[in-house]
Structure 1
Amino acid sequence: MEKIEGNLLIIGGAEDKEKDCTILREFVKLAGSGEAKIVIMPTAADQPEAVGKLYNSLFKDLGVRDVEVLKIESRYDAFSKVAQKTIEEATGVFFTGGDQLKITSLLGGTPVDFSLQRAYKSGVVIAGTSAGAAAMSATMIIGGNSDSSPQMGILNMAPGMALFNQVVIDQHFAQRGRLGRLISAVAQNPYILGIGIDEDTAILVDAQANLKVIGSQTVTIVDGYNSSYTNVSELRPKQALAITDAVVHILPNGYRFDLKNRKPVTD
Structure 2
Amino acid sequence: MTVKGTLIPIGGNEDKGKNESEKHTLEFIDEGILYHVKQQAGGKYANIVVITTASSIPEEVGENYLSAFTALGCENVIVLDIRSKEDSEKQSSIDLIKAANCIMFSGGDQSKITNKIGGTTIHKIMLERFQNEVGFVIAGTSAGAMAMGKEMIAGGKAAEAFVKGAVTMYKGLGFIKELIIDTHFIQRGRFGRVSGAVAKFPKLLGVGLAEDTGLIIKNGKCLVIGSGMVIIFDGSRISHNKEKVLDDGTPMTIANLTVHVLSNGDMYYIDERMVSVLPIEADFI
Q: Give the TM-score, by structure 2 length.
A: 0.90
Q: CA RMSD in A?
A: 1.4
What is the 5 A alignment of 1:83-122? 83-121=93-131, 122=133
Question: Is the 8 Å Cα contact of residues 4 and 165 (structure 1) preserved in structure 2?
Answer: no
Residues 1-41 of structure 1: CA distance to partner in whole angstroms, max 9, x if unpaired?
x7644201100001111233310100011111112111010
Q: Check if 1:199 corresponds to 2:211.
A: yes
Q: Check if 1:264 corresponds to 2:262.
A: no
Q: Check if 1:24 corresponds to 2:47.
A: no
What amino acid maps onto 1:81 in structure 2?
Q
Match of 1:79 among 77, 81, 89: 89
What is the 5 A alignment of 1:91-170? 91-121=101-131, 122-123=133-134, 124-148=136-160, 150-170=162-182
The unaligned stretches of length 5 or more in structure 2 are 18-23, 279-285
Q: Check if 1:232 corresponds to 2:243.
A: yes
Q: Give, in angstroms, the shift of residue 119 of structure 1.
A: 2.6
When structure 1 is superposed on structure 2, of 183-192 and 2-11 the one drifting more is 2-11
Q: 3-state SS of the aligned residue for 1:33?
A: coil
Q: Give, in angstroms, the shift of residue 264 of structure 1.
A: 0.4
Question: Hey, what does 1:247 align to over in structure 2?
Answer: 258
Residues 196-242 of structure 1: CA distance to partner in whole angstroms, max 9, x if unpaired?
00001001100x10001001110000101111121212212221111
1:88 and 1:62 map into 2 onto residues whose CA distance is: 23
Q: 3-state SS of the aligned residue for 2:158?
A: coil
What amino acid maps onto 2:196 in structure 1?
S
Question: Is the 8 Å Cα contact of residues 87 and 119 (structure 1) preserved in structure 2?
Answer: no
Q: 3-state SS of the aligned residue for 1:157?
A: strand
1:233 and 1:64 map into 2 onto residues whose CA distance is: 49
Q: 3-state SS of the aligned residue for 1:38?
A: strand
Residues 167-198 of structure 1: CA distance to partner in whole angstroms, max 9, x if unpaired?
10100001100001111110112100000000
Identity %: 38
Question: Hey, what does 2:75 align to over in structure 1?
Answer: 65
Residues 34-84 of structure 1: CA distance to partner in whole angstroms, max 9, x if unpaired?
121110100111111111111011111110111111111111111112211
Q: 3-state SS of the aligned residue for 2:35?
A: helix
Q: Check if 1:7 corresponds to 2:6.
A: yes
Question: Hey, what does 2:223 align to over in structure 1?
Answer: 212
> Are the structure 2 counterparts of residues 12 and 228 from structure 1 closer, same or farther at C-alpha, using a change threshold of 3 Å?
same
Question: Is the 8 Å Cα contact of residues 11 and 128 (structure 1) preserved in structure 2?
Answer: yes
Q: 3-state SS of the aligned residue for 1:184?
A: helix
1:178 and 1:3 map into 2 onto residues whose CA distance is: 31
Q: In the comparison of the two structures, how many residue pairs are matched? A: 265
Q: 3-state SS of the aligned residue for 2:61?
A: helix
Q: Give the TM-score, by structure 1 length.
A: 0.96
Question: Is the 8 Å Cα contact of residues 149 and 240 (structure 1) preserved in structure 2?
Answer: no
When structure 1 is superposed on structure 2, of 226-235 and 155-164 the one drifting more is 226-235
> Are the structure 2 counterparts of residues 166 and 3 from structure 1 closer, same or farther at C-alpha, using a change threshold of 3 Å?
farther
Q: Give, in angstroms, the shift of residue 151 of structure 1.
A: 1.5
> Are the structure 2 counterparts of residues 155 and 149 from structure 1 closer, same or farther at C-alpha, using a change threshold of 3 Å?
closer
Q: Give, in angstroms, the shift of residue 251 of structure 1.
A: 0.3
Question: Is the 8 Å Cα contact of residues 150 and 184 (structure 1) preserved in structure 2?
Answer: yes
Q: Give, in angstroms, the shift of residue 149 of structure 1.
A: 6.0
Question: Is the 8 Å Cα contact of residues 3 and 165 (structure 1) preserved in structure 2?
Answer: no
Q: 3-state SS of the aligned residue for 1:249?
A: strand
